[in-house]
Amino acid sequence: MNGIYLDNAATTKTDEDVLNEMIPFFSEYFGNASSLHSFGKKAKVILEDSRDFIAEFFGAVSKDIVFTNSGTESNNHAIKGTAFKYLGSGKDHIISSSVEHSSVLDTLKYLENRFNFNVTYIKPDRFGRIDPAEVLNSVTDKTFLISLMHSNNETGAVTDIKSISDETDDKYIYIHSDTVQSAGKLKLDLKDLNINFANVSAHKIYGPKGIAAIYIKNKTLTDKLLHGGKQERDLRGGTENIPLIAGFKKAVEILKSNMKKDVLHYEKLNLLLTNGLKEYYSDGIKFNSDSVNCLPNIVNISFDRNKLKFDEEMLLIQLDLKGIAVSGGSACTAGTLKPSHVLREIGHDEKTALGSLRISTGRNNSVEDIIFFMNALKEIVRIK
């Protein structure tokens, strides 16, 4: 498919080497990793080799990595699994933020509505970051879980999770962080973050969709989310998807070799984009992504309707007609003309949020892509 793809925060293109790595496990090495015969043993080897490699890259140990089918499942497992362990214990308080991914917010609302858990939602700063001091001030003697994303999927803002986990280390509070967007853009050492739960999705790092991992720190108690089997250390029932796990491992192998180059590439494209937008639109454009403490591959922008002429509801469609794929927010909440909840929370009115753009670059983007995008945008969003 031709066109310029600038929506890499939603998903990345699966690397060709990853595709080639998976093929034998659909055909030649097709055994069930739980089977005791030679077919199963071969599958078991790639399962555990993949677990070892992925764990090491993200600063974990192998036994703390559990394969799941998505970041959404991983978030549900961490939050529900912990909450159900505390049912009836007298501890019923969770701290999160109002700008979390929908898989976190919807899970928390479910726990509030069905099981009467109490949740405090911390408001972000104007770039989507959460103030650690405000989180710590919200802790009570009934708090058992803090769930905060490491980097925001819409603005790219990075929150200082480690300062929160270090300060609560002696309070018997579990820390869950959605680290999906951070993988491949920041050094992600899960042991150093001092958290109990984190998650990584292969399709965010040029691997296949449908495979992810949850990090569960040693001896962290959590209820099982999927019952029906003893797979994954009896933490997740179901036959492991060996072809996709092999692809996940290959994506991490490539990332290990390329990450430094990738990040420099993202920073170069980010600088070109932000400087070009500032130069042309001046104060008619507002950046929802900060220049510091932010992922290098995400630029989120809004437009001043008093200075610029554009159609909020047609903006994404007009860019798509020019062969450019960008987003107005998270792909998990897209598909409708509703404004991003993240942009509303950082202070934008509904129309401004609706007309905002998230441009997220990837390994395969070029300087020419950014220039093409900016020239197309100038034709669609005009200076009055």
Phi, psi (degrees; rounded to nearest 5) at 58: -100, 20
Residue 332: its pLDDT value, please? Answer: 53
Residue 368: its pLDDT value, please? Answer: 98
Residue 287: its pLDDT value, please? Answer: 95
160-164 mean pLDDT = 96
Residue 135: its pLDDT value, please? Answer: 97
User: Does pLDDT of 378 surpass 60?
Assistant: yes
Contact status, residue 199 vs residue 74, Cβ threshold 8 Å = yes
Q: What percent of the chain has pLDDT above 70?
A: 97
Q: How many CB atoms lie within 10 A of CB 160?
A: 16
Q: Of residues 308, 332, 334, 380, which has the active-site annotation?
A: 332
User: Tens digits of per-residue pLDDT, 168-216?
Assistant: 988 889 999 999 999 999 999 999 999 999 999 999 999 999 999 999 9
Which residues 6+ apart lie within 8 Å of 279 measured at CB? none
Q: Tell me the one-letter amino acid at 105.
A: L
- Listing DSSP states for 246-259 in one string gives HHHHHHHHHHHHHH
Residue 39: its pLDDT value, please? Answer: 80
| pTM of this prediction exceeds 0.85 | yes
Set out the domains of the chain in order of their start, with CATH numbers: 4-10+259-383 (3.90.1150.10), 16-254 (3.40.640.10)
Contact status, residue 107 vs residue 131, Cβ threshold 8 Å = no
User: Tens digits of per-residue pLDDT, 1-40?
Assistant: 679 999 999 999 999 999 999 999 998 888 777 777 888 7
192: enclosing H helix or E strand: helix 190-193
Instruction: Extract the runs of DSSP E, i.e. beta strands, from the chain.
Output: 4-5, 65-68, 93-97, 118-122, 143-147, 174-177, 197-201, 212-216, 285-287, 298-303, 308-309, 324-325, 357-360, 382-383
Of 71 and 2, the one with more pLDDT: 71
266: enclosing H helix or E strand: helix 242-281
User: Which range is least confidently modeled, 91-105, 222-236, 272-286, 298-312?
Assistant: 222-236
Residue 294 designated active-site: no
Cα 72 to chain centroid, rounded: 9
Contact status, residue 18 vs residue 243, Cβ threshold 8 Å = no
Phi, psi (degrees; rounded to nearest 5) at 133: -65, -40
User: Tens digits of per-residue pLDDT, 299-322?
Assistant: 999 999 999 999 988 999 999 999
